[in-house]
A and B are shown apart, each in its own frame.
Chain A
Amino acid sequence: MEKRQFNIIAETGIHARPATLLVQTASKFNSDITLEYQEKSVNLKSIMGVMSLGVGQSAAVTITADGDDEKEAIDAISETMKAEGLTE
């Protein structure tokens, strides 16, 4: 199991385009991937789940991947986060 913490710096938090792209990235992998925020955890392959968390600016989130491609999944997700200006 691979786990990583992120601090969201984007002013609008995770919403709209970044959220869709995160879900698209996560969906490419076989691993089960979850997004955890304020003790709630959702499936990162679910756009409804991600949006329902309402992750705002300066939020600390944890992403966990569990499966045969967990390492690659986490790396790809961190990259998407950075490219979308969600994290530094």
Chain B
Amino acid sequence: MKEFKGIAASDGIAIASAFRLTEPDLSFKKRSITDASDEIKRLYAAIDVSKDELLTIQQRTLEDLGSSEAEVFKAHGAILSDPELLNRIKSTIEKEKVNAEYALTKVTDGYIKIFNSMTDNEYIRQRSSDIRDVTKRVLSHLLRVPLVDPALIHHKVIIIAHDLTPSDTAQFVPSYVLGIVSDMGGRTSHSAIMSRSLEIPAVVGFKGRLADIKNGDTVIVDGSTGNVIVNPTEAQTDEYTQKQADYRQRKSKLADFKHQMTSSSDGKHPIIAANIGTLDDLDGAIENGAEGIGLFRTEFLYMDSNHLPTEDEQFNVYKTVLQKMDKKPVIIRTADIGGDKDLPYLDVPKEANPFLGYRAIRMSLDKPDIFRTQVRALLRASSFGNLSVMFPMITTINELKKAKNIFNQERIKLIREKVRVKPVKIGIMVEVPAAAILADQFANEVDFMSIGTNDLIQYIMAADRGNRMVSYLYQPYNPAVLRMIKHIIDACHDNNLPAYMCGEMAGDQTAIPILVGMGLNEFSMSASSILKSRALIKRLDSREMVTLANKAVTMASASEEVTAFVHQATNNVQ
């Protein structure tokens, strides 16, 4: 028995036998050959076996995972049928009298180099990884070194790997891959993110030697604590089997909340919505029972692109979100781009202090063409669902008025062009203290406010949330922050406006009781927090939480005391 620690990357517990996913040794030497036709025969034989193998994997993947995953292997097969590629390898063997391994690698390296140099074309650059994968496969047959194909795993295993590539994880069949242990990366590495989306328990940043785990060893992975046990004792196996059962029970209990309306024990109904950043996130939001989208960050449209997104490109994305949410409320935030995000096609000078600089609405008002394109796309999409729009980083009333003006101008233009436009609610993201303090005045100009706590907290506490030296100051429950939030919510309610929150704090299990007490109308959070938050609110009596919230804002101390106080108070009601 051996116990190791790592970073908890994906919740859950798995017990199964180890399957080492190791890189095969595909090294070879350049050799001169005398009989080119023999060498070409050897090449074609390896290519034919590879194609057969790809067909099997494609079939298996299609059955187990679906057509888009299988598509990758179809593309690999197509590369091996490319006449120009084959001819070039063949003529390299003939002219240079070299071995097939060398000729193959020389030709495919050439393509990879060309494709990688096409910096403005992401699609083609990604194809170079396909070529690399295919080359490896043919090499493995030329060299007779077996390649480990995760798609061909057909019994229950824990994957032990140095690092996982996207093409590895794409081949995992969730019913066979029960857990993952990797010695690379942190919680945000590719392996970690993929395992969370596949809901496979995972530990990354493994602190032991992977070589100490042999194929077939029994391994326990606890993705909630980061514990890895190799060849456990009987008592340990029993202990973790029990933990696994408990975990599954908790999870299935939470699943009951998926189709329920959010409700406090005394029948108040705040909305639990999801924050999304891409269309991929949307499925997770729906899957977890989001009652709306409280924040759709539109930056990905600008970041994952080599050009400013066109009106049509944006329209299609917004329309998809609205349609998929099926009349549930969707709040789309206009672009929050600027100095901290490097957009190669946009000339924005680097700034010493981008969080206090030229970004979000400040840039939108300075570059109205970019802003107008987005506004038009939003308005055009409005007829496909229940759309609200909010502006980020609003600091002065004047900025808000300017933004609203542009919005109305584009709206009138579209109506004149006979485009169908539905009424759109307009709000601001309250994240700058200046706007928070004047919330009562802003209330006359908007339909709702959404508190962006991530930035609001760092601006109130004057502490960069990315700077580890001052991270102790990033205190969501500091009474200064709580008072500010209460002030914003009260200002909204005094003016009959709903108050929303879309920062991390909205999904924070300690903050939620206080926010319920303050009467927050919508909690928008990452999809994975929705069900547990709905379960928590179900246990809370909103009237008791009012008392709790009022007490919390009068506390003079820092976060720790508030945390302890909330935990004590809410444990009593559980």
Using a CB–CB cutoff of 8 Å, the interface residues on chain A facing chain B are 11-13, 15-16, 20, 42-43, 45-49, 51-52, 54, 56
Give Cα A84–Cα B341 distance, bound, in whole angstroms.
34
Chain B residues positioned under 8 Å from A16 (CB to CB): 123
* Contact-size category for B: 10 to 19
Name 29 interchain pairs, CB-CB below 8 A, sorted by A: A11-B307, A11-B310, A13-B121, A15-B121, A15-B124, A20-B78, A42-B84, A43-B84, A45-B83, A45-B84, A46-B83, A46-B84, A46-B85, A47-B78, A47-B82, A48-B79, A48-B82, A48-B84, A48-B85, A48-B111, A48-B131, A49-B84, A51-B124, A52-B111, A52-B114, A52-B115, A54-B114, A54-B118, A56-B120
In the complex, the chain A residue whose C-beta lies closest to that of B85 is: A48
Using a CB–CB cutoff of 8 Å, the interface residues on chain B facing chain A are 78-79, 82-85, 111, 114-115, 118, 120-121, 123-124, 127, 131, 307, 310
Summarize B's interface: helix, strand, loop or mixed: helix
Give Cα A49–Cα B115 distance, bound, in whole angstroms.
11
Chain B residues positioned under 8 Å from A52 (CB to CB): 111, 114-115
Chain A residues positioned under 8 Å from B84 (CB to CB): 42-43, 45-46, 48-49
Give Cα A48–Cα B124 distance, bound, in whole angstroms.
10
Could you tell me the distance in whole angstroms from the C-beta of A70 to the nearest C-beta in chain B?
18
In the complex, the chain A residue whose C-beta lies closest to that of B86 is: A46
The answer to whether A51 touches B115 (Cβ under 8 A) is yes
Interface-centre pick from A12, A47, A49 (highest chain B CB count, 10 A)? A47
Chain A residues positioned under 8 Å from B121 (CB to CB): 12-13, 15, 54
The answer to whether B82 touches A46 (Cβ under 8 A) is yes
The answer to whether A15 touches B83 (Cβ under 8 A) is no
In the complex, the chain B residue whose C-beta lies closest to that of A46 is: B84
The answer to whether B79 touches A47 (Cβ under 8 A) is yes
Could you tell me the distance in whole angstroms from the C-beta of A26 to the nearest C-beta in chain B?
10
Give Cα A11–Cα B114 distance, bound, in whole angstroms.
21
Instruction: Work out how many contacts link A and B, with CB atoms closer than 8 A.
Output: 40
Could you tell me the distance in whole angstroms from the C-beta of A74 to the nearest C-beta in chain B?
19
5 A-B pairs with the lowest CB-CB distances in the bound complex, closest first: A46-B84, A49-B84, A52-B114, A43-B84, A54-B118
Chain B residues positioned under 8 Å from A46 (CB to CB): 82-85
Give Cα A11–Cα B305 distance, bound, in whole angstroms.
13
Could you tell me the distance in whole angstroms from the C-beta of A78 to the nearest C-beta in chain B?
22
Could you tell me the distance in whole angstroms from the C-beta of B345 to the nearest C-beta in chain A?
13
Give Cα A48–Cα B233 distance, bound, in whole angstroms.
54
Give Cα A46–Cα B85 distance, bound, in whole angstroms.
8
Could you tell me the distance in whole angstroms from the C-beta of A87 to the nearest C-beta in chain B?
19
Could you tell me the distance in whole angstroms from the C-beta of B102 to the nearest C-beta in chain A?
19
Chain A residues positioned under 8 Å from B85 (CB to CB): 46, 48
Chain B residues positioned under 8 Å from A54 (CB to CB): 114, 118, 121, 124
Chain B residues positioned under 8 Å from A11 (CB to CB): 307, 310
Could you tell me the distance in whole angstroms from the C-beta of B73 to the nearest C-beta in chain A?
15
Given contacts A48-B82, A52-B114, 16 further A-B contacts (CB under 8 A): A11-B310, A13-B121, A15-B123, A15-B124, A20-B78, A46-B82, A46-B83, A46-B84, A47-B78, A47-B79, A47-B82, A49-B84, A52-B115, A54-B118, A54-B121, A54-B124
Give Cα A84–Cα B503 distance, bound, in whole angstroms.
42
Could you tell me the distance in whole angstroms from the C-beta of B428 to the nearest C-beta in chain A?
34
Chain B residues positioned under 8 Å from A45 (CB to CB): 83-84
Give Cα A54–Cα B123 distance, bound, in whole angstroms.
11
Could you tell me the distance in whole angstroms from the C-beta of A1 to the nearest C-beta in chain B?
20
Chain A residues positioned under 8 Å from B115 (CB to CB): 51-52
Chain A residues positioned under 8 Å from B310 (CB to CB): 11
Could you tell me the distance in whole angstroms from the C-beta of B128 to the nearest C-beta in chain A?
10
Give Cα A6–Cα B115 distance, bound, in whole angstroms.
23
Give Cα A13–Cα B114 distance, bound, in whole angstroms.
17
Contact of A51 among B83, B120, B127, B307 (CB under 8 A): B127
Could you tell me the distance in whole angstroms from the C-beta of A10 to the nearest C-beta in chain B?
12
Give Cα A12–Cα B310 distance, bound, in whole angstroms.
12
Give Cα A46–Cα B89 distance, bound, in whole angstroms.
14
Chain A residues positioned under 8 Å from B124 (CB to CB): 15, 51, 54
Chain B residues positioned under 8 Å from A47 (CB to CB): 78-79, 82
Give Cα A46–Cα B84 distance, bound, in whole angstroms.
6
In the complex, the chain A residue whose C-beta lies closest to that of B126 is: A16
Chain A residues positioned under 8 Å from B131 (CB to CB): 48
Give Cα A15–Cα B83 distance, bound, in whole angstroms.
19
Could you tell me the distance in whole angstroms from the C-beta of A37 to the nearest C-beta in chain B?
13
Give Cα A84–Cα B131 distance, bound, in whole angstroms.
25
Could you tell me the distance in whole angstroms from the C-beta of B461 to the nearest C-beta in chain A?
45
Chain A residues positioned under 8 Å from B79 (CB to CB): 47-48
Give Cα A48–Cα B84 distance, bound, in whole angstroms.
8
Could you tell me the distance in whole angstroms from the C-beta of A35 to the nearest C-beta in chain B?
11
Give Cα A11–Cα B120 distance, bound, in whole angstroms.
12
